[in-house]
Structure 1
Amino acid sequence: INRYKLLIIDELGYLPIDKEDSNLFFQLIDMRYEKKSTILTTNINFNDWDNIFYDAVVANAILDRILHHSKVITINGRSYRVKDYIKPSE
């Protein structure tokens, strides 16, 4: 994974991450930190990352590396996937 110039991780936090996977994810981010580009998508606010990862210390260490040189883009609005299934309010 580290040989790629760009890594895209979609839907981070969709499922809880256990202790072992939290540590592996930290190692991945740390390996790429200040060397390669990484794009993350998530519906989870940064303040709630303690709930995704097994350990708040690991979550904060990951955030520290991710946010250091990042550009955060926030997208608000309804889900594009369900737009055809939700009827507008009358």
Structure 2
Amino acid sequence: WGLEPLKAAQRNDLMEIMDDRHESKSTTLISQLPTEEWYQSIGDNTLADAILDRLMHNSHRIKMKGESMRKIRSKLTDGEHLG
């Protein structure tokens, strides 16, 4: 979620999914993009308001921090990692 801005068809599809699931089913979203940037990533102001209202209302957020598990489990040395 959020690796690139949504196109118009993707925004419409996401709105339909969120509308169908709102207050009836759980929805899990995982992203490396901070939630503060989701609005911009969705693109259309009206749809972003509607989508995020359905998604964020009554949500549970788990913000993870720390070193990447890929980096921890990798056999590369610190100098070989990108960042």
TM-score w.r.t. length of structure 2: 0.78
Structure 1 residue 30 displacement after superposition: 0.9
Q: Distance in 1 between matches of 2:20 and 2:51?
A: 11
Name which of 64, 70, 78 aligns with 1:87: 78
Q: Is the 8 A contact 1:22 1:53 kept in 2?
A: yes
- Give yes or no for contact 2:39–2:52 (8 Å, CA) kept in 1: no
Listed as ranges, the matches of 1:12-51 within 5 Å are 12-51=1-40
Determine which structure has more spread, i.e. the larger CA radius of gyration: 2
Map of 1:5 onto structure 2: none
Consecutive unaligned residues in structure 1, runs of 5 or more: 1-11
Aligned-residue identity in percent = 31
Q: Which of 66, 73, 76 does residue 77 from structure 1 map onto?
A: 66
For residue 66 of structure 1, what is the aligned residue in structure 2? 55
Q: Give the Cα–Cα distance (whole angstroms) in 2 for the partners of residues 13 and 28 of structure 1.
A: 16
Give the structure with the higher percent helix: 2
Preserved contact between residue 17 and residue 52 of structure 1 (Cα < 8 Å): yes
Task: Name the Cα RMSD after superposition.
Answer: 1.7
| 2:42 counterpart residue number | 53
TM-score by length of 1: 0.73
